[in-house]
Chains A and B, each alone.
Chain A
Amino acid sequence: MKKALTTELQTQLWETIKHIEKNSHIEMVVVLRPRSADYRDIAWVWGVFGAWLGFTYVMFAPEYFSDDIVYATPIAAFLSGFALAHFPLLTRLSIKKARLEKSVVTMARAIFQKGGIQHTQAKIGVLVYVSWLEKRVVLLADKGAEMALPVSEWKTLHADFQGIFHERKPLDALITQLEKSQPVFSRHLPPIANDINELPDDLDVDL
């Protein structure tokens, strides 16, 4: 996916956002992150589990092992478990859904705050936060935007955005979904005269 996030896609993404902003009063920010937390504890658990497996094997296998193998196996197995736990699928499967949800929402809120998305005068900032490992999309809207759209509309939007992870190319699907959301925002938050883009183009959300 690193390769898939090409300049072409980034360009397209930016143009889609600008299109939404031009046709509605919304101020949109799209942020993608590989993961919302480091989940190091999961890697440690897998490492310890691997070490235990390795140790058990060299201890109880019906074979003889030299001292160095006995010594090295648990360490190597620990490292293997630790490394394996970094595979997104394994990490995701090792974590409870509630925890995944919480991590993503917490990170989305932090980005919203750090990026100053709440500083628009009419409170019309909307963050679309995509967290890759967790396969979650969070739509975080400021008060003005939240009130402008009915709850059911937000629910539909959220479900639709979440659906990008069911597609083969989630990034393309994200752009398509953003395009689809434009009429919704335009309908409920139509553009106003003398509108000014209140957020910087190069938002600093480094956390």
Chain B
Amino acid sequence: MRAMLLIWLLLLGLMTCFNVTEARPGGGHSSSGHSSSSGSYSSPSYGSFSYNPSFSSGYNNGVSVNTNPAGLVFFLIILIIIIIILKNKTAPQPFVAAPTAINRSRQQSSLKNELDLLKQSDPNFSGILFIDFVHSLYTKFYSYSTHPEFSYLSPFLSTELQQHFEKAAPWTVNEIVINGIRWESISTQGTETESISLVIDANYTLHQQDKATRYTVTERWLFYRQKGLLSAEPDKMQTLCCPQCGAPAHFTDSGECGHCGTVINKGEKQWYLSKRVVLRTTALAASDLVSYAEEQGTQLITIKQDGLAEQMQSYIQQQSLPDWNSFWQPFADDIVKAYFLSIYEHWSQRDWQGVRHLLSDRLYEANSFWLALYAEHDWHNRLDDINISQIVPAKIELDKYYQAITVRIFASCFDYTEDANGKIIGGSKRNRRSYSEYWTFVRRTGKAAHTAPYSLTSCPQCGAPADNMGQTAECGYCGSKISTGEFSWVLFLIMQDDVYEG
């Protein structure tokens, strides 16, 4: 209908444009074969077109020609309207069905309900510890891959996956870095089993035939275990070990522990990887380090956990605090802000070790890799003049072993990468970049609410200077492992605003 209207308007425009403005003396002259008066037109600006004087001879005088500029303008306007309408035409834009924000929010809601159900039947279950377990398994899965040690993992892999690398050419995978693990679904509905599905973003270096290639991958992993199991205690979740004796994973193909001799059947005492699919694989280029994409999610609304207010209430009750503000203000200032500024300052200086005690093992390893890559090229990613404008609580998770608080931090800085000669190869030193990130801090449950300000420069256990932390975050003075959140808050996870789902 609209098309017809447009065609009609177009024709109207054409007719208006070509209408004779004045009647011609002498009637029609179609016999000439040319209705133009090009040769004889008096205006000097058209004189150059007088290529065929014979045509013009009959129309030299007393002839009114159509030179209606209003018609032409009208016609052009119609044309422009058509083009504009065409640009906004009714066909849908290219579209691939994908979850919308509403779908994701519903998924998160359902995930939360399922997690609650899981925690009801397994009060020992801790999301933080489960992620640690997945992290350990992922690292071992690839580092052992084609090596004989792969069999050590037998109780943690389905029979099918145990044979996964059997036909693969010999290779070595190292520098395994997990950038993110997203919960996708939890199922407690089965009569015999429970399952958890996760999406893992990682990258690793594959050495094959004397060539090393760095890949970024996205994988979906599906874990199962028998229904009604109680999760193992933290030290058996944070490393891959025998669920019976706690010795490092060293199993035979049949699942017999090399230390205690117990046969560990899949899913009987611990989660096992039932299926995995690689969703995406891309070879990584060094140039990816200096690619500065436009911030995508800064303007998005903060994704807050359903029932956040209740969780805040639970938290202050657990900590015996009078109200939320008595926790939040010091936490926001002494932990979130202080950690944020300190971590990014050390990042800029390529001194990741300087904040080792503030980071979880996984976060430390993941970002160490990137800093090493910068160092390899002698590049510096500078984050100058960081300014935090807002800190918003987004999520609180409490379980038997851990407290996890996720906040959204709005900040801005001059973010750029320079080479060894100080030449800027990415970002800008002049344009301030505004961004926001979701940071998750974790701490062991049972820690008393702090009264004194946190010190970022000392060991939270013994108070000695934090200048002697090994790569494993063990204090060089007291030997305590700091990165587990046993003694103070550690930064567990950083997620960009455009990928955070709650």
Contact = CB atoms under 8 A, between A and B. Distances in A.
State whether these chains interact.
yes
Given A64-B36, A66-B37, A83-B83, A198 B277 contact: yes
Interface stretch (A31-39, A153-161, A183-191): A31-39
Contact of B79 (A66, A76, A194, A202): A76
Contact of A14 (B3, B82, B93, B97): B97
B92 A34 contact: yes
A140 interface: no
B170 to A, nearest CB: 24
B199 to A, nearest CB: 8
A7 to B, nearest CB: 5
A206 to B, nearest CB: 8
Contacts of A29: 96-97
B24 interface: yes
Given A7-B102, A14-B99, A200-B280, A63 B35 contact: yes
Residue of A32, A64, A198 most packed against chain B (CB within 10 A)? A64
Given A13-B97, A79-B79, A80-B10, A62 B30 contact: yes
B95 A31 contact: yes
B406 interface: no
A60 B101 CA distance: 61
How extensive is the interface on chain A, given as a class?
Answer: 35 or more
Interface in B214-230: 218, 220, 222, 224
Contacts of A205: 96
A90 interface: yes
A33 B195 CA distance: 36
Secondary structure of the B contact surface, majority rule: mixed
A64 B18 CA distance: 10
- B interface, how many residues as a size bin? 35 or more
Interface in B419-433: none
A44 interface: no
A68 interface: yes
B499 to A, nearest CB: 10
Interface string A171-200: 100000000000000000000001011111
B453 interface: no
Given A14-B98, A66-B46, A203-B98, A87 B33 contact: no
Contacts of A60: 30, 33, 35
A2 B93 contact: yes
Interface string B86-116: 1011111111111111110000000000000
B79 A80 contact: yes
Contacts of B86: 83, 86-87
A184 B197 CA distance: 27
A11 interface: yes
A132 B35 contact: no
Interface stretch (B63-71, B203-211, B286-294, B465-473): B63-71
A33 B94 contact: yes
Contact of B98 (A63, A67, A88, A201): A201
A194 B32 CA distance: 85
Interface string A17-43: 100000000000111111100000000
B63 A64 contact: yes
A67 B79 contact: no
B440 interface: no
A31 to B, nearest CB: 5
25 contacts: A1-B92, A5-B93, A10-B95, A11-B100, A13-B97, A14-B99, A29-B96, A34-B94, A60-B30, A62-B30, A64-B64, A66-B37, A66-B66, A69-B17, A72-B72, A76-B75, A80-B82, A87-B86, A88-B90, A89-B3, A194-B274, A196-B277, A197-B220, A200-B279, A206-B94
Given A59-B34, A64-B24, 9 more contacts: A5-B93, A10-B98, A33-B95, A59-B35, A63-B24, A79-B79, A132-B92, A196-B274, A205-B96
Interface of A: 1-2, 4-5, 7, 10-11, 13-15, 17, 29-35, 57-70, 72-73, 76-77, 79-80, 83-84, 86-90, 115, 121, 132-133, 171, 194, 196-206
Closest 6 CB pairs of A and B: A34-B91, A62-B28, A30-B97, A200-B279, A132-B91, A66-B67
